[in-house]
Amino acid sequence: KVHEKLLLTGAAGGLGKALRERLKANCAVLRLSDRQDFGAAAAGEEVVLADLADAEAVDAMVKGVDAIVHLGGISVEGPFTPILQANIVGVYNLYEAARKNGVKRVVFASSNHVTGFYRQDETITADHPARPDGLYGISKAFGEDLSRFYFDRYGIETACVRIGSSFAEPKDRRMLATWLSFDDLHRLITACLTTPALGHSIIFGMSDNAVTWWDNSRARHIGYVPQDSSDVFRDAVYARTGQPDLTDPAAIYQGGGFVKAGPFGN
Ligand code: NAI
Ligand code: 15L
């Protein structure tokens, strides 16, 4: 077990639930956090409830851990204020707490929506400029920039994992390109936590899908080798979904339906 105490934020969410058991292999103690109650700690776990917008609570959540897997936050497009509080103020509070408490490595759940306005007929690398497809994608781009600053200024290493679509199975045709299995997500996080020199890195979180829009050649040093593929679901997904309207922005851009969400109020 590489880590003595590992913090997982967003533990009550979809990916938090999927990772709770899997991440126990990575650490002696897994500290789980969310703002909503998700039950008691089991053996080898600690539970610390905290709202990411509350700097004091975030400091207490981070104290004593040696690495962080940061999944907590608003995970879809929507009104600005909750995104501002959870994803922008929240990620600042997290890195300030990491700095004050000497945490040296973070895996940050970024999103493909940082680059959602690239087209589905182009392949991009981590060197392509951000093209967020909404307020949510912008908040994740902020997290990527903030974590780069904390690396340059304070030496805190971060992997920004631009997760594609991490669900039990791909739900639609777009997700055949963007799908990341839960086991591959765990493999990817493990690679980020254990690679000797992480630096500040951006990696697209995807399984070994035949069709892809993302090239991870800039992240070879992380040593992530996906073992699952959406390809086994292809026939079933095609059978239950119709031919997409190729003039629909949701079928043109990588971000899918997110590119036409909103506008939202505050
Ligand atoms: P989710 O919405 O199921 O879980 C997010 C968790 O964060 C929730 O349990 C929620 O209570 C918590 N949270 C929200 N605001 C908070 C706050 N202010 N303080 C403390 N906790 C707060 O999302 P999911 O699918 O589990 O995603 C986890 C992370 O991965 C998110 O950051 C999301 O943006 C990112 N991601 C997920 C993808 C996916 O396919 N599941 C794709 C791309 C990114
Ligand atoms: C995300 O960033 C969301 O958190 C997730 O719920 C999915 O919608 C995913 O992107 C996606 O693009 O499929």
Q: Of the ligands numbered here, which is closest to the C-alpha atom of 185?
A: 1
Q: What is the pLDDT of residue 1?
A: 79
Question: Which atom of ligand 1 lies nearest, measured to the CA of 180?
Answer: 40
- Number of residues in the chain: 266
113 lines ligand 2 (CB under 6 A): yes
What's the CA-to-centroid distance between 75 and ligand 2, angstroms? 7
256 lines ligand 1 (CB under 6 A): no
Q: What is the pLDDT of residue 2?
A: 85
Q: What is the pLDDT of residue 88?
A: 99
- How does pLDDT run along the chain (266 residues), one tens digit per residue? 789 999 999 999 999 999 999 999 999 999 999 999 999 999 999 999 999 999 999 999 999 999 999 999 999 999 999 999 999 999 999 999 999 999 999 999 999 999 999 999 999 999 999 999 999 999 999 999 999 999 999 999 999 999 999 999 999 999 999 999 999 999 999 999 999 999 999 999 999 999 999 999 999 999 999 999 999 999 999 999 999 999 999 999 999 999 999 999 88
What's the CA-to-centroid distance between 144 and ligand 2, angstroms? 17
Domain 3-260 has CATH 3.40.50.720: yes
Number of Cα atoms under 13 Å in the Cβ half of residue 224 = 31
Dig out the tokens for 13 from the structure: 């969410």
What's the CA-to-centroid distance between 37 and ligand 2, angstroms? 23
The pTM score is 0.98
Q: What is the pLDDT of residue 78?
A: 97
Q: What is the pLDDT of residue 89?
A: 99
- Of 95, 118, 136, 253, the catalytic one is 136
35 lines ligand 1 (CB under 6 A): yes
| ipTM (interface predicted TM) | 0.99
Question: Which atom of ligand 2 lies nearest, measured to the CA of 113?
Answer: 2
Q: Is 136 a catalytic residue?
A: yes
184 lines ligand 1 (CB under 6 A): no
By alpha-carbon position, which residue is closest to atom 2 of ligand 2?
111
What's the CA-to-centroid distance between 243 and ligand 1, angstroms? 30
181 lines ligand 2 (CB under 6 A): no
107 lines ligand 1 (CB under 6 A): no
